[in-house]
A and B are shown apart, each in its own frame.
Chain A
Amino acid sequence: MKLTRRDTMAIGGAAALTTILPSLSSAATPVNELVMGVTGGADAASTGISLTAPEIAENGNTVPISIDAPGAVAITVMAAGNPRPGVATFNFGAGSASQSATTRIRLAGTQDVVAVAEMADGSFASAHQTVKVTIGGCGG
């Protein structure tokens, strides 16, 4: 079949495209640094907090996430590759039945979402997960 110039350019362009937005690694804050920022330098246990986020986000504008850390006083959520890493800090009061919450966040590109829980006894726990953020169809 005859290849038109448009076809060749289109195929070449498509091949060059990555379907997944690469992580903004030069701009991303290291996960460790973000965790230390919350703990003030103290170590954070890797158990005791769970972070639920999609492996691939349908759209970076609205990404559903959940965090759960039984016994936590507060949970801080950060996005390592966003222009500003801070996402939210959840403070749990006496009226809460669990130290968990679900929300929807914006992610600028593929990156690590980080959650750090401050426990009632002053110790910390952290979890993180890479969320792939994709380029959409024709118009993004």
Chain B
Amino acid sequence: MRRFCASIIGRKLMKFKKLITVVVGALAIPFAAIAGEDSQLTVEGQLMVTSVAAPAHMENVDEIFSGWVFRKDETQALQMDDFDNPAFIFIDKAIDTFSKVEGTAGKACVSCHESPEVFKGLRASMPRVNSSGELETIPELVNGCRTERMGAEKWKWSGGSMAGIVGLIGLQSRGMPVNVNIDGAASSTWDKGKELYYTRVGQLNMSCANCHEDNYGNMIRADHLSMGQINGFPTYRLKNAKLNTIHGRFKGCMKNIRATPYKEGSDEFKALELYVASRSNGLTIETPSVRN
């Protein structure tokens, strides 16, 4: 934790803050006063990597941190036990859904996929470019199965059913390092995502980077700003007491800065998801995490 503080303070002293970020910086409260004392996240006996050297492609940041690190002790504690973690009630529901027959083909997920465990490793490298050269995300894979192989209806991108199943699939990669590919066929989409990350939008004229790169560790009103990592998504937010998806959160963030959000499942959000996921390469998958 001290190492974390030193790196934040050192970085802040060296970096010249733009005026627009003074609004947020003016309310800065010493990080050490808020952060939990345990800097280690172990879940069901497994140690998660919550801080690691930033991937080479990140120019302005030396070290990356999981969102877990920025939460208060009580919130952190909720994620450390699979029973205390309220997300698991939705995982349980998803396990039921996995065996539920739906659609004209009379199948359930389990008809083709022996158990959720077959998805081990998938979440860690998503989103990815498929053999047709398109970037694909987990919700698209799920809906593809539903519409093409089950004869069932598409699920809403961030509805309860999809969030639960994506959470269940993500859980199978828990503890594995995020390892998203940004080269080759993915690189042009990744560039697009990166551009979106750094472009100011909305009435408040802010980009993702203004908060999550320039001001992580500071307080925004009384909320402790994280780096905006998605390695724990879908996440159970205390604020709405349910599982929240990646695109759902992107949409919420854009609304918060009074911008018209892109649509969930849009090319923009998919590209952004790829870029943001690559910013956490090296951290471990924490799905399903607990956040504010």
* Contact assessment for B252 and A64 in the assembled complex, using a CB-CB cutoff below 8 Å: no
> What is the distance, in angstroms, from A101's C-beta to the closest C-beta of chain B?
14
How many interface residues does chain A have, given as a range?
20 to 34
- Please name the residue on chain A nearest to B203 by beta carbon: A6
Expressed in whole angstroms, the Cα–Cα distance for A114 and B23 within the complex equals: 37
Expressed in whole angstroms, the Cα–Cα distance for A121 and B253 within the complex equals: 55
Expressed in whole angstroms, the Cα–Cα distance for A14 and B23 within the complex equals: 6
> A45: CB under 8 A from chain B?
no
Select one of B24, B222, B252 contacting A139, CB under 8 A. B252
* Contact assessment for B239 and A134 in the assembled complex, using a CB-CB cutoff below 8 Å: no
* Contact assessment for A58 and B23 in the assembled complex, using a CB-CB cutoff below 8 Å: no
* Contact assessment for B19 and A134 in the assembled complex, using a CB-CB cutoff below 8 Å: no
* Contact assessment for A62 and B221 in the assembled complex, using a CB-CB cutoff below 8 Å: no
Q: What DSSP secondary structure best describes chain B's contact surface? A: mixed
> B238: CB under 8 A from chain A?
yes
Q: Mark A14-43, 1 if CB is under 8 A from B, else 0.
A: 110101100000000000000000000000
> B225: CB under 8 A from chain A?
yes
- Please name the residue on chain B nearest to A15 by beta carbon: B26
* Contact assessment for A1 and B72 in the assembled complex, using a CB-CB cutoff below 8 Å: no
> A120: CB under 8 A from chain B?
no
* Contact assessment for B222 and A134 in the assembled complex, using a CB-CB cutoff below 8 Å: yes
* Contact assessment for B23 and A137 in the assembled complex, using a CB-CB cutoff below 8 Å: no
Given contacts A14-B26, A61-B238, A62-B238, contact A19 B74 (CB under 8 A): no
Q: Mark B18-44, 1 if CB is under 8 A from A, else 0.
A: 011011101100000000000000000
List residues of chain B with CB within 8 A of the CB of A56: 72, 222
Select one of A7, A14, A54, A136 contacting B222, CB under 8 A. A136
Expressed in whole angstroms, the Cα–Cα distance for A14 and B211 within the complex equals: 15
* Contact assessment for B221 and A137 in the assembled complex, using a CB-CB cutoff below 8 Å: yes
> A88: CB under 8 A from chain B?
no
List residues of chain B with CB within 8 A of the CB of A3: 19
Q: Mark A43-63, 1 if CB is under 8 A from B, else 0.
A: 000000000001010110110
Q: Mark B222-253, 1 if CB is under 8 A from A, else 0.
A: 11010000000000001111000000000011
* Contact assessment for A138 and B72 in the assembled complex, using a CB-CB cutoff below 8 Å: no
> B257: CB under 8 A from chain A?
yes
Expressed in whole angstroms, the Cα–Cα distance for A29 and B98 within the complex equals: 48
> What is the distance, in angstroms, from A65's C-beta to the closest C-beta of chain B?
10
Interface residues of A in 51-104 (CB under 8 A from B): 54, 56, 58-59, 61-62, 64
List residues of chain A with CB within 8 A of the CB of B255: 139
Expressed in whole angstroms, the Cα–Cα distance for A15 and B71 within the complex equals: 24
> B292: CB under 8 A from chain A?
yes
Expressed in whole angstroms, the Cα–Cα distance for A138 and B225 within the complex equals: 10
List residues of chain B with CB within 8 A of the CB of A58: 71-72, 74-75, 238, 292
* Contact assessment for B72 and A19 in the assembled complex, using a CB-CB cutoff below 8 Å: no
List residues of chain A with CB within 8 A of the CB of B77: 64
> B7: CB under 8 A from chain A?
no
* Contact assessment for B238 and A59 in the assembled complex, using a CB-CB cutoff below 8 Å: yes
Expressed in whole angstroms, the Cα–Cα distance for A136 and B221 within the complex equals: 6
Select one of A14, A54, A139 contacting B256, CB under 8 A. A139
Which 6 pairs show the lowest CB-CB distances between chains A and B?
A: A134-B222, A138-B256, A137-B223, A59-B238, A139-B256, A62-B238
Instruction: List 9 interface pairs A-B (beta carbons < 8 Å), by A numbering.
Output: A3-B19, A10-B20, A56-B72, A56-B222, A58-B71, A64-B74, A136-B239, A138-B253, A139-B256
